Amino acid sequence: MLGCQKEDEIHFSIESGNAVKTLKVFAIQAGVEILIDENELEGIQTRSIEGTMTKIDALELMIFETGIVYNRDQETDAIAVSLPQKE
């Protein structure tokens, strides 16, 4: 049917901005738990997103080409965002 949402899609409306702030907004809108590395992400700008999509699509669009990485906990869907760990 036209206009039907897939079950796991959510409407997101997040402006571009400081990753530390915008990623928290993402977590609130997505209804997920989140841990954000302040030391690493302060000052990095994420992209704006607008529309209905899955949580992961939304996150990946926001952090595209920023260098930010994320891990999603398989059991609980909680997300951690940071820069890649140094070896």
The site for other proteins (CB under 8 A) is made up of 20, 23-24, 27-28, 33-39, 69-71, 73, 75-76, 78-82, 85-86
Nearer to other proteins, 4 or 87 (CB): 87
What is the spatial distance between Cα 83 and Cα 3, in angstroms, rounded to a whole number?
37
Cβ nearer to other proteins, comparing 49 with 79 = 79
Sorted by sequence, the CB contacts under 8 Å of residue 18 that are 6+ apart come out as 42, 43, 44, 45, 46
Closest approach of other proteins to the CB of residue 2, in Å: 33
